[in-house]
Amino acid sequence: MPLVKIFSGSASRYLAEKIATAYGTQLGDLTISRFSDGEIGVHYNESVRGAEVFIVLSTFPPADNLMELMLLVDAAKRASAHKVIVVMPYYGYARQDRKDKPRVSIGAKVLANAVQACGADRLMTCDLHAGQIQGFFDIPVDHLDGSAIFVPYLRSLNLGSSLIFASPDVGGVVRTRAFAKNFGAEMVVCDKHRVRANEIASMQVIGNVEGLDVVLVDDMVDTAGTITKAAELLKEKGARTVRAIATHPVLSGPAYERIENSVLEEIVVSDTIPLKQESSKIKVLSFAELFARAINNVVTHESISSLFI
């Protein structure tokens, strides 16, 4: 059995501690310091020579999290770690996955280049905004499926034959269809038109939801404009209840206020990003057990897909 060590960057320590506990170990000891000008310095306080080192850190803002991650990977490689595996519960910049207009960057590819350039041997992440981002890497990518956590919770609600799933936009149809197929349920689509990022011009529902319990499915919720507008529209179309599942709670700007004032019964998210404030309508499910099992399967060379529903 190889020597396994799990370390955490500053911003994801709350989750990394739960992952380490679920794996049956403690977080490794390291020091992350800052120079007077804000420059980051990292130091492993224990040997990692010959070890399989797992570094847990998401790349949500600020950009310092990415810089910290790169330094942690570089330090582990220079300290003769056998392998360095980046565990990135939330893959930042994933929405910038293509050129949708002239003269723009592809941020998801830039992030992939950065992770590989500093020496990472493998990446583990969850519910990417677009699955094809895996193709930006020339190293193995373990793309975990959050439905393994969300589906059992939905089953516990016992919604029965009244359950129907909804995609808040056309881009989320594949993700939503997978949930609907698992429950043997139907699905509808909320077709939206944007004038610019984070601003919706119009939206319409394709399908019938009258008298049904609707579950909106998305990979993330940012300003909550799309999810709350979709919920309102679904209620107008006769839905009995509307709740939402969104893996990554980015929740910026007016998100919390919008959710509190919305017709949503609840919005179920994961702990890939820490909440900035509490909300009676936001329920958090932990992905720590899922990541711990995935780490174990990587170490023992077992199937990752066996963790999927």
DSSP 102: T
Catalytic residue among 101, 192, 235, 283: 192
DSSP 91: -
Query: Contacts for 192-201 with beta carbons within 8 Å, 24 or more apart?
Result: 192/168, 192/226, 192/229, 192/230, 198/222, 198/223, 198/225, 198/253, 199/225, 200/225, 200/226, 200/229
Dihedral sign for Cα 292, 97, 247, 56, please.
positive
- The rounded Cα 277 to chain-centroid distance in angstroms is 18
Distance of alpha carbon 226 from alpha carbon 168, whole angstroms = 7
192 is catalytic: yes
Active-site amino acid positions = 192
